[in-house]
Amino acid sequence: MSDMVRLIEPLIPALRRYARALLRNPADADDLVQDCLERAIGRWPQRRAEGDVRTWLYAILHNLAVSQMRQHARRGASMPFEDAPEAILAVAPNQHESLLQRDLTAALDALPEEQRGVLLLVSVEGLSYAEAAQVLAIPIGTVMSRLARARDRMIQLMDGERASAPTGRPLLRRVK
C-alpha cells in the first residue's frame, strides 16, 4: 500500500494538468482526477505488476474524461442552467491568460477529441509514442498520424484566425 502512495503521489500534479487541458474547468478537472485516483486505489491489487504506473493512470484518467465529454456532448443544449456560467467562464479570458493562450486553448478545444488526447499526451505530458499508444489503446501508427493532423489543425486554426482578423493582433510571432 505504501508502495502505491510512493508510485502514484508524484504523478498527481501531471494528472491534474492533463485533466485541466482536456476539460478546462478546474473544478471538473480535479473531480475527474479524484475519480481516477479512487479507481486506481480500488484496482491497485489487480494491476499488472510489470506495467508502467504512469501509463496505467493516464489510461484510467483518459477513459474517464472521454466518457464524461461524450456525456456532455450528448446532453448538448440541455446542459443544466446552473452549469452554464461556469462552462462559459472556463473559456473566458482572465487577467493571467494572454491573447495567445486564449487562441491556443480555443484551438485546442476545437480539435477532434482523439487528436487532442494524442497531442497533449505527447507534447505536454511528454509520453513516448509507445506510451501514448498504450494509454489510448491504439497502434503507434495511429498515434503518429493523429499527432501530425492535430498539429496541422491547431496551426491552421490559430494562424488562419489571425489572417482573417483585420486588427492583426500579434497572436504568435510570425515565422521569418
Per CB under 8 A, residues contacting other proteins are 1, 4-5, 8-9, 12-14, 16-17, 20-21, 30-31, 33-34, 37-38, 41-42, 100-101, 104-105, 108, 119-120, 122-124, 128-129, 144-145, 147-148, 151, 154-155, 158-159, 172-173, 175
Q: Which is nearer to other proteins, 59 or 111 (CB)?
A: 111
CB of 166 to other proteins, least distance (A): 23
User: Which residues lie below 8 Å from residue 108, measured CB to CB, with a gap of 6+?
Assistant: 21, 116, 119, 120, 154
Q: Which is nearer to other proteins, 76 or 95 (CB)?
A: 95
Residue 152 identity: D
User: Could you tell me if 23 and 29 are in contact, meaning their C-beta atoms sit under 8 angstroms apart?
Assistant: yes
Residue 131 identity: E
CB of 124 to other proteins, least distance (A): 5
CB of 31 to other proteins, least distance (A): 8
Q: Which is nearer to other proteins, 5 or 92 (CB)?
A: 5
Rounded to 5 degrees, φ, ψ at 104 are: -65, -50
CB of 77 to other proteins, least distance (A): 26
Owner of C-alpha cell 456532448: 73
User: Could you tell me if 155 and 126 are in contact, meaning their C-beta atoms sit under 8 angstroms apart?
Assistant: no
Q: Which is nearer to other proteins, 13 or 76 (CB)?
A: 13
User: Could you tell me if 6 and 68 are in contact, meaning their C-beta atoms sit under 8 angstroms apart?
Assistant: no
Between CA 149 and CA 143 the distance in angstroms is: 10
Q: Which is nearer to other proteins, 49 or 175 (CB)?
A: 175
Residue 43 identity: R
CB of 14 to other proteins, least distance (A): 6
